[in-house]
Amino acid sequence: RLLGRMRSFIARRVRENARSLDPQSPRDFIDAFLIQMEKEKDDPNSEFTMENLELTTLNLFFAGTETVSSTLRFGLLFLMKHPHVEGGTPDPIPGPQTQ
C-alpha cells in the first residue's frame, strides 16, 4: 500500500516536471532523465522509459531514507553506549568572529 502511494507521488512529480521542463536548464534528476527520454524516444531499446524513471526515482528515495535512518540509529546507539560524549557542543574555534 505504501509503495503504491509512493509511486503515485513520484508519478505526479514527474508530470509536474514534464509540464515545466526547460531542456536547457535541468533542475534535478527527473528533468535530466526526461531530457534523455526525449533524445532516445525513437530507440526501441532505450532504457529511458517512464517506468524506469519512476522506479529509479523510487530507488533513490528509499536509498536516501535508509542512509539517514542508519546514521541516526548508529548515533543513538553510540550515545547510549557512551553517554559521557553527550556533554554538549564544543567551544567555538577562536577567530575574528568570536573576539
Cell for 70?
A: 542508519
Tell me the pLDDT tens digit for each residue of 62-97. 888 888 899 999 988 988 888 777 666 666 777 776
What is the Cα–Cα distance from 15 to 12, expressed in whole angstroms?
A: 5
Tell me the pLDDT tens digit for each residue of 15-28. 999 999 999 999 99
Cell for 32?
A: 535530466
Where do the structural domains in the chain lie, given as residue ranges? 1-60
Sign of CA dihedral 85, 89, 91, 95: positive
